[in-house]
Amino acid sequence: MSKLILPDFKYIEGLVLKSKPNSLRYGRRLYSFECQRKGYWLKIQLQQGHPSYLKGFQRELAFYQQCLGSEGLSKITLPPEIVSKAFLSEIGLEVEQEQSLAQVLLLPEATPFFAVSPQSRSVQMIQHHLLRVLDVLDVLNEAGWLHADLKQEHFAEYDGQLKLIDFEQVQPIGQSAQTEMNATPRYMAPELFHGEAKTVSTDIYALGIIFYEWLSGQRLKAENYTDWAYLHCQRLNIELPEKFLVFQPLLSKMLAKHKAYRFDNFYAIKRALVTEIA
């Protein structure tokens, strides 16, 4: 994996704290800034923060470190730079340094991949858009990893390529031990509500929700965790606009309530998308 080529950070502009209130309480610090007309994100986790946030941050750092030298993964991840706490002083950022981690994650800014409206695109353009997503996930799986936290905002365009971001829940494929459930109910497969471990199948289900919400232009709604469980386990019924009905059989198989009826892997979805949609 290539590392981020650092510019001269002596002069930066627009340093803004972007952490949500809950994240701040749990020790997460997320900043955006510009330098030499390029955008960057700075991710910090305080040592005294919430254990799950700390574990997720350490997991993401470890994943990026393991990716160094991986030609395949470098194509689907942003070039990272793991910098020391001294870097914070260099850019004029005052954080509880004595309590923060010894390492800080710096990433370049990228464009949200699903920000574009599908309504302005042809079926063939939509097909290509979805294939690009499936390609990066197929590469990730071939390298032996689950993303395990797929959301629309975790796909981004950078330097003309589609990239995956946010690897705080990443895990090796086949990892049987499920010590905790860190998942967003909006994207949870039915079996996750029953305490099963994350698998390729649960990532496929999450991606099905992403595709469905993007194509339908509607966000699924539920009031609480119980309502989300009821929605995914019993009530979910997808209805696409007429223009995109050609994709409905594909989504139905990605979103099957029983994992035995879903696609087995992302390559199989790619094959179906190419052969079944003219």
**What's the pLDDT at 6?**
65
Domain assignment of residue 35, yes or no:
yes
pTM: 0.93
Q: What is the mean pLDDT of each run of 10 residues along the chain (278 residues)?
A: 66 88 90 90 89 92 83 88 81 67 86 94 95 97 96 96 96 72 90 95 98 96 95 94 95 97 97 87
**What's the pLDDT at 181?**
63
Cβ partners under 8 Å of residue 121, min gap 6 = 129
Task: Mark whether 72 and 169 lie in a shared domain.
Answer: no
219-241 b/e (C-beta count within 10 Å ≥ 16 → b): ebeeeeeeebbebbbeeeebebe
Alpha carbon 183 to its chain centroid, in Å, reads: 12
Q: What is the 3-state secondary structure (H, E, C) of 60-93?
A: HHHHHHHHCCCHHHHCCECCCEEEECHHHHHCCC
Task: Mark whether 90 and 119 lie in a shared domain.
Answer: no
Task: Mark whether 78 and 176 lie in a shared domain.
Answer: no
Task: Mark whether 103 and 124 lie in a shared domain.
Answer: no
Q: Of 65, 92, 109, which closes a domain? A: 109
Task: Mark whether 131 and 176 lie in a shared domain.
Answer: yes
- Give the CATH number for residue 79: 3.30.200
Task: Mark whether 254 and 121 lie in a shared domain.
Answer: yes
Domain assignment of residue 23, yes or no:
yes
**What's the pLDDT at 89?**
79
Tell me whether strands 81-84 and 161-164 are parallel, antiparallel or unpaired.
unpaired
Task: Mark whether 87 and 213 lie in a shared domain.
Answer: no
Task: Mark whether 101 and 123 lie in a shared domain.
Answer: no
Count of domains observed in the chain: 2
**What's the pLDDT at 229?**
96
Domain assignment of residue 207, yes or no:
yes
Domain assignment of residue 4, yes or no:
no
Q: Of 109, 138, 155, which closes a domain? A: 109
The tokens describing 169, both together, are 């829940």
- Give the CATH number for residue 209: 1.10.510.10
Domain assignment of residue 90, yes or no:
yes
Domain assignment of residue 5, yes or no:
no
Q: What separation, in Å, do the N-terminal and C-terminal C-alpha atoms of the chain show?
A: 36
Domain assignment of residue 195, yes or no:
yes
**What's the pLDDT at 37?**
87
Q: Of 59, 94, 109, which closes a domain? A: 109
Domain assignment of residue 2, yes or no:
no
Task: Mark whether 23 and 149 lie in a shared domain.
Answer: no
Task: Mark whether 92 and 134 lie in a shared domain.
Answer: no
Task: Mark whether 133 and 38 lie in a shared domain.
Answer: no
**What's the pLDDT at 138?**
97
Task: Mark whether 221 and 91 lie in a shared domain.
Answer: no
Which structural domain, as residue segments, surrounds residue 163?
112-275
